[in-house]
Amino acid sequence: MIDRSEQRNAAFKNIEAVYQDFYRNLELNGGLPYRSTVSGMWAISEAKEVYRAFCHFRLGDYNHMADLGSGDGIVALVGSLFTKVTGYETDEALYKKSLQIRDELELSQARFLLQDYLLADLSPCDLLYLYPDKPFFALEEKLRPVWCGHILVNGPHIPPHYLNRVAESPPSVGRFALYESG
Q: What is the pLDDT of residues 40-54, one digit of tens each?
A: 889 999 999 999 999
Q: Is 27 helix (H, G, I), strand (E, B) or coil?
A: helix
Question: Is residue 69 within 8 Å of 40, Cβ to Cβ?
Answer: yes
Q: What is the pLDDT of residues 88-97, one digit of tens each?
A: 999 999 999 9
DSSP labels, 46-84:
-HHHHHHHHHHTTGGG-SEEEEET-TTSHHHHHHTTTSE
CATH number at residue 102: 3.40.50.150
Q: What is the pLDDT of residues 160-172, one digit of tens each?
A: 999 999 999 999 9
- The count of structural domains within the chain is 1
For the chain, the farthest-separated pair of C-alpha atoms sits apart, in whole angstroms, at 48
Name the least confident of 33-37, 83-87, 138-142: 33-37
Q: Is 158 helix (H, G, I), strand (E, B) or coil?
A: coil
Q: Domain containing 44: what range?
A: 4-180
pLDDT for the residue 54? 98
For the chain, give the mean pLDDT. 95
